Structure 1
Amino acid sequence: LGEICNSSMGAAATALYSILGRKVVITTPQVTVLTLQDLASDHLRPYVVVDVEYTEGFLGRSLFILQVEDVKIITDIMMGGEGVVSEEDLSELHLSAIGEAMNQMMGGMATSMADMFNRVVNISPPHTMIIELDGQEIHELIGHESPELIRISFSMEIEGLMHSSIMQLMPLRFGKQLVSGVIGDPEPAAPASSSPMPFQVVTAEPVAHDASTTPASSPVKQSSDPVWQPPVHSSETMPSAQVDARPVQLPNFDAPVSSRSDPGEFGLGLIMDVALKVSVELGQCKKTIREILDLNTGSILTLDKPAGEPVDIVVHGKPVAKGEVIVIDDNYGIRITEILTPPQHVLSGNGR
C-alpha cells in the first residue's frame, strides 16, 4: 500500500510543481493503522480536509489532510503572491483555490493508478472543508465504515517556502481493495505430480519524488510473495512452423495529397463527407487567479503571438494550416498562407 501511494503521490507532486512553478519534493510515506480515537488524540487543531471519492475502477473514498498554514502559503502563490502566511482566517477563495490545486493533483494520481492497475480509474471532483479530526464530521466521512483507519503520512517540501507534511486517510476496507488490485488472487496450487517450478522473488524500495527534475515514474509493483515462472521447454519439444517472410511494403507518406487518386488508400474514403469544426487561434495568455478576478470591462489581455504573425488554423484540436486575418463583407475571414504537410496533420498520431 505504501508503494501504491508513493507512486501516485509522485504524479500529484508533478501537478503541484506545474501549478506553483517551484520544486516540490514528497518523500517516502509511513503507513499506520489506527482508530478514530487515536487520530483525534494525535491531531487536535482544525485541518483542511479534501474529500476524494473514487467512482470507477475502485469504489471508496480517501481524505487528504493539510495544515491551514500550508494552504495559506500554496493559495497565496496561486493568487500571485510570494507565499506569505496571513493572520486572517481561510476564506471561500482560499478553499476554492486549494480545491482547484487538489483537483489537478488528484487527476495526476488517478492517471498514475490507472497505469499501475491497468484499468480506468475515475474520481469525483474533490470537496474541500475545514474540520477538526476529533469531531463528528470525520466519522461521517469515513469512520462509519470501520472502527480502524489507514493513515499514510508524507513529508512535503516546497522549494524556498515550507517543509511540512500531508496525510492521507482511507477506510481499512478500501486500503485492502487497493492492495488486492496489485497482488491479485493467489495462483492455484500445482498438481502433486508436477516437478517443482523455479521462482523469483521481486522486491522494490519506495523512493522520494522530486517533481522538478523528473515526472512521476512508472509504478513499481511490490510483492513479498514468490512469483512463479513457467518452465521453459527445450527446442526439441517445440514443433517447427513454416514462416513466409517477405519485405514490408509501406505507402509513400511524403507524396502530396493531390497526387493520391484514391482517398481510400488511407481509409478516408468513407468519411470524406463528415463535417469538422474549423477554428482559428489568435494566441493565448496565462493569468493568475488574482488577475482573472480583477478583470473588468475595458481590461486588455496581451496574447503570446506578435502582431503580423500568421494565425493557426485548427481542426478538432489539430493544426492544419496558417493564415492571415482579412475582412469579407463585414465578416472576418482567413487567407491561408501555408498548408502543413500531411505527415504533420493528416497522418498525425503514429499514422492513424
Structure 2
Amino acid sequence: MDGMLSQDEINALLAGMDTSAGGDAPADAPADGGGDAAPAEAAVSTPPVGGGAIDESLLTDSEKDAIGEVANISMGSSATTLYSLVNQKVNITTPQVELANWENVINNYERPCVFIQIKYTVGLDGTNILILKEHDVMVITDLMMGGDGTNTDGEIGELQLSAISEAMNQMMGAAATSLSTMINQKVDISPPQATVLDMINDDPSDIAEFLTGTFVKISFKMQVGELVDSTLMQLYPIDFAKTLKDTVIAADEGSQEAAPAAAPAPEPAPAPAPQPQMAPQMDPSMMQGQPMPQMAMPQMQMGMPQMMAPQMMNMNIQPAQFQNFSGGTTIMAGGENIGIIKDVPLEVTVELGRTAKPISDILDFAPGTIIELDKVAGEPVDVLVNGKFVAKGEVVVIEESFGVRVTEIVQ
C-alpha cells in the first residue's frame, strides 16, 4: 500500500532472476519462448568449495558423545596448562560436537581469526586445527609476556604468532599426555603452525584438505579471568575423529578385560582361612560356662591387634598441609611466565639509517654509488626486534666482525 516491497517480495525477486543469462528475467518466464517455466533451482550456480548441505548421517549421536568426552578430557588438561602460562583462572566448558563445513565456519565465527594446525606424529595419525579469535590471541600473548591482558591494540605480528604457537604447543602437549593415558600408548605432536586468516578470501584446501568437505567441529566456551569470554573451536577430519574414538574405546575395553584376569592371583592364600579351624578348639571352654562374647574378643585381639598395633604405634600421623594459592599470583606474574617463551626465536636487526629515493635514482644505482642516509656520523644506530624499535647502540668491531654495543633501551 505504501509503494515499498516487503523483505519476502525482495527475496522472491532475487531468487527468480536468471543468473545464467545475466539478465533480470523472472524465473517464471519461459526459457524458450513457450512451455512451462524452468524451475528456479536450475539457475543456481554450483556451491563453492567447502559449502553445500551437511550429511548428518556421517556421525551418529553416540559417536558425537564419545568424541566429545575424549575432547573434554583432553581440553581439561589444556586448561590447566594455559592457567600456568597466563596466571589467570581458565575455564573451558563441556564441548559441543557437530558436523560442519567451511561455509558454516565462516558464517558463525568472528573474522579474522588465528588457525593453529597440529599434526599427530606418534601413536595417532591425523590433523587437528584450533581456531582462536584475534582478540583472544592478543590477550593471551600479552598475559604470557607479563602484561595485564589489555594491550590488544594493533594487528597480530610474528611475536604474537610465535607466542601463541608455544602456548598451543604446551596445551596440546598436555592433551596428548591425556590421550596417551586413555589409549595406553605414547602420543606425540608436531610443533603447531599459527596463521592469521580472514577465511572469506582463503582457499580451505591450502590450509588442510579435509576442510573442503564435511568435518567435525567441536566448540568450547573459553573464559580467561575477566578478560576473555569467547569460543574456541577444534576441527577434526571425520575419519580421524572416528579412529580416535575407536582407539580410546578399544583401550578402555582392553583394560577392563585385563582386570578380571589378574584378580584370581590373590585367591591361593586368603588371610581368614585359619579361623574355621580355631572354632572347634574354643568349643570345650565355651561348654564350661564361659560366655560366648568373652571368647570372641580374644579371637579378634589375636587376629588384628597383634599385626596392626605395632605398625600404628610407629606411624607418624600429622595434619594434612596444602599449598596456599592466594599469594601465587604476584609471584608468577614476572619471571616464570616470561621464562616459558624464552626459547622463542626472534629476529634482531640493526638499522644504520634510511633514506627515500625516487625510482629514477634507484634505476641509476651501480657499483660505487654512494647513498646518503638520514643518520649523522657517530649517531647511535637503531636495534629492532621483529621489526619493533627496542634499543639504540654504537657500532663496534669484534675481531673481524661488526657488532653493536647497546647504549640505550627504548621504553
If the length of structure 1 is used for normalisation, what is the TM-score? 0.53
Structure 1 residue corresponding to 2:124, chosen from 58, 69, 72 = 58
Please list the CA deviations of residues 22-50 of structure 1 after superposition, one character each: whole Å capped at 9, or x if unmatched: 11110000000012222233236211010
Percent identity, please: 36
Q: 1:103 aligns with which of 155, 165, 169?
A: 169
Whether 1:167 and 2:217 are equivalent positions in the alignment is no
Equivalent position SS for 1:10: helix
* Separation (CA, whole Å) in 1 of partners of 2:257 and 2:336: 53
**Match in the other structure for 1:78:** 144
Q: Is residue 2:83 matched to residue 1:17?
A: yes
Unaligned 5+ segments in structure 1 are: 186-220, 244-284, 300-352
**Which sections of structure 2, spanning at least 5 residues, go unmatched?**
1-66, 271-334, 343-384, 392-403
- Matching residue within 244, 265, 268 for 1:178: 244
Q: Give the partner amino acid of 1:9.
A: M
- Whether 2:208 is the aligned partner of 1:158: answer no
Contact 1:54 1:61 in 2 (8 A): yes
Paired positions, count: 214
2:7 is aligned with 1:7: no
Following TM superposition, by how much is the alpha carbon of 1:119 offset from its aligned partner in structure 2, in angstroms? 0.9
Code of the residue aligned with 1:288 in structure 2: it is I
| Deviation readout 1:183-223 (Å, 9 max, x if unpaired) | 239xxxxxxxxxxxxxxxxxxxxxxxxxxxxxxxxxxx6x9
Match for 2:250: what amino acid? G
Of 92, 101, 122 in structure 2, the residue corresponding to residue 26 of structure 1 is 92
**Matched ranges for 1:25-44 at <5 A:** 25-43=91-109
Query: How far off is 1:158 after superposition?
Result: 1.1
- Give the letter aligned to residue 151 of structure 1: K
When residues 241 and 27 of structure 1 are mapped into structure 2, their CA distance, relative to the original with a 3 A threshold, is: closer
Of Structure 1 and Structure 2, which has the larger fraction of its residues in helix? 2
- The Cα of 1:162 is off from its aligned counterpart by 1.7
CA 1:20–1:147 in 2, change beyond 3 Å: closer, same or farther?
Answer: same
SS at match of 1:139: helix
Greater RCO, 1 or 2 (C-alpha within 8 Å, sep 6+): 1
1:210-225 → structure 2 map (5 Å cutoff): none
- Matched AA of 2:98: T
| 1:133-282 to 2 correspondences below 5 Å | 133-144=199-210, 147-184=213-250
Q: What does residue 93 of structure 1 align with?
A: 159
Structure 1 residue 124 corresponds to structure 2 residue 154: no
- Relative to structure 1, the CA distance from residue 33 to residue 65 in structure 2 (aligned partners, 3 Å threshold; closer, same or farther) is same
Q: RMSD of aligned C-alpha atoms? A: 3.6
Matched, 1:48 2:114: yes
How many angstroms apart in 2 are the aligned matches of 1:139 and 1:24? 33
Report if the CA contact (8 A) 2:79-2:171 is conserved.
Answer: yes
SS across alignment from 1:184: helix
- The residue that corresponds to 1:69 in the other structure is 135
Q: Is the 8 A contact 1:157 1:163 kept in 2?
A: yes
In 2, the alpha carbon distance for the partners of 1:62 and 1:132 equals 19
**Structure 1 residues 142, 288: closer, same or farther in 2, change over 3 A?**
same
SS in structure 1 of the partner of residue 234 of structure 2? strand
- Which one-letter code corresponds to 2:338 in the other structure? T
Q: How far is 1:81 from its partner?
A: 1.3
The SS at the match of 1:288 is: helix
Give the CA deviation at 1:298.
Answer: 8.8
The separation in 2 between residues aligned to 1:242 and 1:162, in whole angstroms, is 59
* Deviation at residue 83 of structure 1 after TM alignment: 0.5
Aligned 8 A contact 1:62 1:170 in 2: yes
1:163 deviation in Å?
A: 1.1
- SS in structure 1 opposite 2:246? helix
| Structure 1 residue 135: Cα displacement | 4.3
Residues in 2 aligned to 1:90 and 1:145: alpha-carbon distance in whole angstroms: 24
Counterpart of 1:209 in structure 2 is: none
In structure 2, relative to structure 1, the CA distance for the partners of 1:119 and 1:130 (3 Å cut) is same
| Residue aligning to 1:193 | none
Give, in whole Å, the separation in 2 of the partners of 1:162 and 1:39.
20
Could you tell me how far 1:165 is from its partner in structure 2? 1.3
Letter in 1 for 2:133: Q
8 Å contact kept, 1:25–1:156? yes
Find the aligned partners of 1:36 and 1:286 in 2 and give their Cα distance: 39
Deviation of 1:91 after TM superposition, in Å, equals 0.9
Change (3 A) 1:230 1:119: closer
Q: Closer, same or farther in 2 for the Cα pair 1:141/1:287, shift >3 Å?
A: closer
Are positions 1:288 and 2:338 aligned together?
yes
| 1:80 and 1:290 in contact (8 A); partners too | no
Shift in alpha-carbon separation, 1:112–1:137, aligned structure 2, 3 A: farther
Residue 23 and residue 286 in structure 1: after superposition, are their counterparts in 2 closer, same or farther (change >3 A)? closer
Q: CA deviation at 1:287?
A: 6.4
Residue by residue over 1:137-178, the C-alpha shift from the partner in whole angstroms, topping out at 9 and shown as x without a partner, is 433333447621100000111113221110001111111111
Instruction: Decide which structure has greater strand share.
Output: 1
Compared with structure 1, are the counterparts of its residues 93 and 228 closer, same or farther at alpha carbon in structure 2 (3 Å cutoff)?
closer
Kindly indicate whether the alpha-carbon contact (under 8 Å) linking 1:6 and 1:29 is maintained by their aligned counterparts in 2.
yes
